[in-house]
C-alpha cells in the first residue's frame, strides 16, 4: 500500500535525486584536521582507523587519534618513567642540603616524578592536507636561527699591555 503511494507521488524519484545531490565524502573534507600522532607512527600504505578524540566542548578544532597508537605511546612513556626512577635506597641521604655546612633536610616534593608535566603533555602532531616538508623546513629554519644567535667567543685575548693609572689623550677625547 505504501509502495503504491510512493510510486503515485514520486517519492522514490525525490529520494534518488537527493542522494545524487549529496556529494561524496572525499579527502578534501578532511583537510585542516589535526592528527595527534607523528607522521612516523603511521606507516605509509597501511590503513589506520582514526577517530575523533574526546575533548571539552569549549576546545576548538577536531583532533583525530588512533586508540591503538595512543596505547603504544603510553606504553613507551611508562617504560621511560620506569627507567628514570631509581631503586629504593634506604641509607642514601639524598634529601640533605649541606650548602650551609649543616645537614638540613631538603623539602620533599609529593610526586616529584610528575613535576616535568606541569605544562601538560606534548604530542607529535600534523595537520591533514599540509605538506610534510613544511614542518621539516620550519625545523631547519629554527636550527639556523639558533646557530646564528650563538656568538663565537674566543679565549685568546689580544696582546698584553700594562694597565695605566691615567687616561691617555685619546681616551679622554672619547668621553
**pLDDT tens digits for range 121-163:** 777 788 887 766 566 677 778 888 887 777 666 777 777 778 7
Q: Which residue has the cell 628514570?
A: 84
Domain of 76, in residue numbers: 26-85+120-143
| 46 in a structural domain | yes
| 45 in a structural domain | yes
What does the alpha-carbon distance between residue 24 and residue 45 come to, in Å, rounded to a whole number?
A: 23
User: The whole model's pTM is what?
Assistant: 0.47
Count structural domains, the chain: 1
Distance of CA 128 to the CA centre of its chain: 16
| 165 in a structural domain | no
| 114 in a structural domain | no
What does the alpha-carbon distance between residue 111 and residue 157 come to, in Å, rounded to a whole number?
A: 49
Tell me the pLDDT band of 22, cut-offs 50, 70 and 90: confident
Write down the mean pLDDT value for the chain. 76
| 156 in a structural domain | no
Amino acid at each position: 500500500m505504501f509502495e503504491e503511494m510512493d510510486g503515485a507521488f514520486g517519492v522514490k524519484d525525490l529520494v534518488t535525486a537527493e542522494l545524487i545531490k549529496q556529494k561524496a565524502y572525499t579527502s578534501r573534507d578532511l583537510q585542516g584536521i589535526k592528527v595527534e600522532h607523528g607522521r612516523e607512527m603511521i606507516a605509509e600504505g597501511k590503513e589506520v582507523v582514526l577517530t575523533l578524540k574526546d575533548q571539552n566542548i569549549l576546545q576548538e578544532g577536531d583532533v583525530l587519534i588512533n586508540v591503538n597508537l595512543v596505547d603504544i605511546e603510553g606504553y613507551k612513556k611508562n617504560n621511560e618513567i620506569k627507567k628514570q626512577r631509581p631503586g629504593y635506597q634506604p641509607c642514601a641521604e639524598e634529601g640533605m642540603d649541606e650548602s650551609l655546612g649543616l645537614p638540613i633536610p631538603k623539602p620533599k616534593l609529593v610526586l616529584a616524578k610528575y613535576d616535568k608535566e606541569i605544562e601538560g603533555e606534548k604530542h607529535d602532531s600534523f595537520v591533514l592536507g599540509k605538506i610534510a616538508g613544511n614542518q621539516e623546513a620550519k625545523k631547519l629554519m629554527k636550527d639556523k636561527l639558533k646557530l646564528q644567535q650563538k656568538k663565537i667567543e674566543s679565549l685568546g685575548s689580544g696582546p698584553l699591555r700594562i694597565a695605566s693609572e691615567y687616561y691617555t689623550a685619546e681616551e679622554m677625547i672619547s668621553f
